[in-house]
Amino acid sequence: MPDQSFVVTGGAGFIGSNLVAALNARGHTDIVVVDTLNHPEKEHNLADAVYREFVTKQAFRERFLAGRHPLVDTVFHLGACSSTTEQNAAYLEDNNVLYTRQLCEWCLAHDIRFVYASSAATYGDGALGYVDDHTLIPSLEPLNLYGRSKQSFDLWALQSGAVDRIAGLKYFNVYGPREGHKGDMRSVVNKAYRQILDTGGLQLFRSHHPDYRDGEQLRDFVYVRDAVAVTLFFHDHPDQSGIFNCGTGEARSWLDLGRAVFAAMDREPDITFIDMPSSIRDKYQYYTRADVAKLRATGYNAPFTSIEAGVDDYVRNHLAPTMDSR
């Protein structure tokens, strides 16, 4: 049986490079990686990967729009600007919306499976909950331009009917190896590890909401290997289409996460609180928790990794060895 073929956009990035590694682990090497190597860590992300070709986004976009790109079995579209502080609306419209629509239309025209990254940022402040019901999507109000760009494509997919033939994943707070290039958008686990190494302690944002005590703001934290497993599920099951939450279904506090990092480093917790910057205070999410009933209804029944187990693996097997080698 011939090897299946894939395109992974954002393939040198965080979730993308972990997905390429998972495809390699399955024995797949006919992979076109689409990305921009604009950071040394992104090159490191692909150091052990086996793939057919690396292509820049511009070259790839020109190819498929001109009908010159070879057809593949599945396109995993994970390449997008993921900065929640990006203020260039025109750039986000082109990069996160138009590019995604063009690629989706190419896939649909050639019966190629299209699995793309949406985002939990589309839920805004969570006032309408975190249920991935298609009828609720038009009512969501993202808090930033990044979230709006993801919402914009989700809406197009619904209105065009494409949603019935593709799979979109609203990733919640994903953390894990291969995120070193993300700068300020790195997970708190990654930042906390380095802060604890440098200072011995960890600073978390103070709560500015009367219903949440300091450090008890809640998030749905997803280990990247689980995010990849869900993503691959929708390649394995092309009969399952729609927009789905990709989260654990459990909300945990920043204190829980911080304590897990200290435990993985074999240290006693030393956590203090600092004021949240006023620039993000009005757009801060105090609670996120994916409703995973719809995901489970597809037949995806694998357990999700607890933050204690995920952080322990990330710190001991990825962050610590990396720091020790430098």
Is this prediction's pTM over 0.75? yes
Same domain membership, residue 197 and residue 87: no
As for how many domains the chain has, the answer is: 2
Question: Catalytic residue among 57, 182, 283, 294, which?
Answer: 182
Q: Is residue 135 part of a domain?
A: yes
Structure confidence at residue 279 (pLDDT): 84
Same domain membership, residue 99 and residue 198: no
Q: Are 38 and 107 in contact (CB under 8 A)?
A: no
Residue with tokens 């940022």: 121
Same domain membership, residue 211 and residue 108: no
Same domain membership, residue 195 and residue 77: no
Structure confidence at residue 280 (pLDDT): 85
Average pLDDT score over residue span 174-198:
95
Give the Cα separation of 167 and 113 in Å (integer).
Answer: 8
Q: Is residue 56 part of a domain?
A: yes
Same domain membership, residue 167 and residue 214: no
Q: Is residue 132 part of a domain?
A: yes
**Tens digits of per-residue pLDDT, 125-165?**
899 999 999 999 999 999 888 899 999 999 999 999 999 99
Same domain membership, residue 276 and residue 182: yes
Q: Is residue 1 part of a domain?
A: no
Average pLDDT score over residue span 42-53:
96
Residue 326: is its pLDDT beyond 80?
Answer: no
Same domain membership, residue 183 and residue 126: no
pLDDT classification of 190: cutoffs 50, 70, 90 = very high
Task: Establish whether 182 is a catalytic residue.
Answer: yes
Structure confidence at residue 324 (pLDDT): 52
CATH of the domain at 206: 3.90.25.10
**Tens digits of per-residue pLDDT, 239-249?**
999 999 999 99
Structure confidence at residue 87 (pLDDT): 77
Nearest CA-CA partner of 204 in 283, 276, 125: 276
Burial of 164 (0-12, 13-18, 19+ CB in 10 A): exposed
- The torsion angles phi and psi of 271, rounded to 5 degrees, stand at -115, 130
Give the Cα separation of 74 and 11 in Å (integer).
Answer: 14
Same domain membership, residue 300 and residue 166: yes
Q: Is residue 188 part of a domain?
A: yes
**Tens digits of per-residue pLDDT, 206-235?**
999 999 999 999 999 999 999 999 999 999
Domain with 281, as residue range(s), is 176-218+251-286+311-324
Q: Is residue 147 part of a domain?
A: yes
CATH of the domain at 243: 3.40.50.720
Same domain membership, residue 129 and residue 105: yes
Q: Is residue 107 part of a domain?
A: yes
Question: Catalytic residue among 116, 130, 146, 193, which?
Answer: 146
Same domain membership, residue 57 and residue 143: yes
Q: Is residue 157 part of a domain?
A: yes
Average pLDDT score over residue span 53-65:
96
Q: 24-28, 152-156, 276-280: lowest mean pLDDT where? A: 276-280
Same domain membership, residue 34 and residue 164: yes
Same domain membership, residue 200 and residue 106: no
Structure confidence at residue 91 (pLDDT): 81
